[in-house]
Amino acid sequence: MSKRALKKYVSNLPKKELEAQLLDLYDRFPMVKQYYDFVFNPKEDKLVQEAKTKIANEYFPVKRKRPKARRSVAQNRIKHFVKLGVDPYLIADVMLYNLEVAQSFALERNVPDAFYKSMLNSFNEAVHYVAVNGLLHDFKSRILKVYQITQDENWLHGEGFSRALDLID
């Protein structure tokens, strides 16, 4: 169904039926419930803290012995935040937090080459997001610190990290 057809259908529904359908969507689909829960009670700080805890637990687990170190956990949280419409400042904070925790992990462990490529992708996304949303003045020092660690520790794909910084210059 196209958006136009949906708009026509919704405009022809009586208010009671529209309310019933909306409540049905709320009950059936968890994403709809999450969206409305967020819209009417946006506890952004709580969501961000939960995301940071989950990210840290990926690299430094509390309950299990071995870290999983999956980039996808942070990426899924970030995508979820974007869909909900969380403040861009908080999203950028989570993006950089993910990189900082991953760097702490890499200092303590021997990580595979794919880890560095994955972190380069995260770094590119974070720098791009910060630049597009005009948050450079808030996050420039953290971005430079992450970049400096990649250079000091001779991370693979060092030139890729340098190219990402060209975006903000």
Following DSSP, what letter does each residue of 28-73 receive, concatenated? H-HHHHHHHHHHHS--HHHHHHHHHHHHHHHHS-SSSSS----HHH
Quote the CA–CA distance of 19 and 14 in Å, as a whole number: 9
Quote the CA–CA distance of 34 and 43 in Å, as a whole number: 12
Residues 83 and 33 in one domain: no
Encode the chain (169 residues) as per-residue pLDDT tens digits.
Answer: 899 999 999 999 999 999 999 999 999 999 899 889 888 988 899 999 999 999 999 999 999 889 999 999 999 999 999 999 999 999 999 999 999 999 999 999 999 999 999 999 999 999 999 999 999 999 999 999 999 999 999 999 999 999 998 877 7
Residues 8 and 50 in one domain: no
> 10 Å Cβ neighbour count for 125?
16
**Predicted pLDDT at 65:** 87
The amino acid at 132: V
**Predicted pLDDT at 167:** 78
**Predicted pLDDT at 52:** 97
Residues 32 and 55 in one domain: no
Quote the CA–CA distance of 105 and 66 in Å, as a whole number: 12
**Predicted pLDDT at 144:** 95
Domain that holds residue 24: 1-41
Q: Please tell me whether the overall predicted TM-score, pTM, comes out greater than 0.75 for this model.
A: yes
Quote the CA–CA distance of 101 and 61 in Å, as a whole number: 12
Residues 27 and 69 in one domain: no
Residues 15 and 93 in one domain: no
Number of domains in the chain: 2
Residues 52 and 67 in one domain: yes
**Predicted pLDDT at 166:** 86
Residues 98 and 145 in one domain: yes
* CB within 8 Å of 124: residues ≥ 6 apart: 160, 164
Residues 99 and 144 in one domain: yes
Residues 7 and 53 in one domain: no
Residues 99 and 25 in one domain: no
Residues 5 and 56 in one domain: no
- Token pair of 30, please? 């968890």
Task: Find, among 160, 86, 83, the residue nearest to 125 by Cα.
Answer: 160
Residues 20 and 53 in one domain: no
